Amino acid sequence: MDKRITIVCGHYGSGKTEFSVNYAIKLAREGKRTALADLDIANPYFRSRERQQFLEENGVALYSNVYHADISADMPAITAEIRGPLEDGGCHVVVDSGGDDTGARVLNQFRKYFLGPEAGLYCVVNANRPETADFEGALAHIRSICGETGIPLAGLISNTHMLRETRAEDVIKGYGLCRELSSFLEIPVEYCCASREICDKISTLKNIKEDKEFRLFPMELYMRPAWLDR
């Protein structure tokens, strides 16, 4: 993933927002001027704009709707300020888009920025979500997003998890599904996401060591609310 503008899509519950936040922080820690554009105005849960202070403390500028972090104000009113980082060739932008074709429709407002060589659309696939648990379901979801936006898919991100109950086997299973999709669509699997603890276990597996295309992406649970651990 070497695009200046990284658009992240994925079904609800796929971990799309968690990946967007993790990836933006990764870019910032690499010394890149980074912005996160929260265009997920359809989903009232786990929105990146709820971590605005945390993101800014980690060097990521946040752009969202005109109401910013007000959870009660989910109106389709995207701030015009978002055009600033999109037009700034020195700024890396991570776009957290909606979870389905309806949610992704907001991308059409900024479509001219997303069709050039600087931009790429990437889909987070979670094989433990009912809607994307198999090849047919995941492919239908991808086609609905691309059909609505007219933006070609540049790559896949495997993020199969069951929160704290995730096992290495879950991650490997999800990666297998993404490899199947990758072969069919002729696009790469950019990352396979997992917690740092599970990454350590997976990296020792013989079949993974021999897969030269396999790239682990260690994830922190920045978006996970404290009440889920109770």
Taking the alpha carbons at both ends of the chain, their separation in whole angstroms is 36
pLDDT confidence band for 221 (50 / 70 / 90): confident
Predicted pLDDT of residue 49:
63
Which residue, among 126, 149, 148, 154, has the nearest Cα to 138 in the 3D structure?
A: 126
**Three-state secondary structure string covering 30-85:** CCCCEEEEECCCCCCCCCHHHHHHHHHHCCEEEECECCCCCCCCCCCCECHHHHHH
Residue 42 reports pLDDT greater than 70 = no
Q: Is 110 helix (H, G, I), strand (E, B) or coil?
A: helix
- Mean residue pLDDT of the chain comes to 86
86-103: average pLDDT:
89
12-37: average pLDDT:
95
Bridge-based pairing state of the strands 92-96 and 34-38: parallel
What is the 3-state composition of the chain as percent helix, strand, coil, each rounded to the nearest 5? Answer: 40, 20, 35
Beta strand ranges found along the chain (DSSP E): 5-10, 34-38, 60-63, 92-96, 119-125, 153-158, 189-195, 216-219
d(CA 174, CA 157): 10
Residue 39 reports pLDDT greater than 70 = yes
pLDDT digits (tens, 9 = 90+) for 128-146: 999 999 999 999 999 999 9
d(CA 153, CA 143): 9
Residue 97 reports pLDDT greater than 50 = yes
Side chain identity at residue 199, one-letter code: C
Contact 122, 189 (CB under 8 A): no
Q: Is 96 helix (H, G, I), strand (E, B) or coil?
A: strand
Residue 76 reports pLDDT greater than 70 = no
Percent of the chain with pLDDT over 90: 58
d(CA 178, CA 207): 16
pLDDT confidence band for 167 (50 / 70 / 90): confident
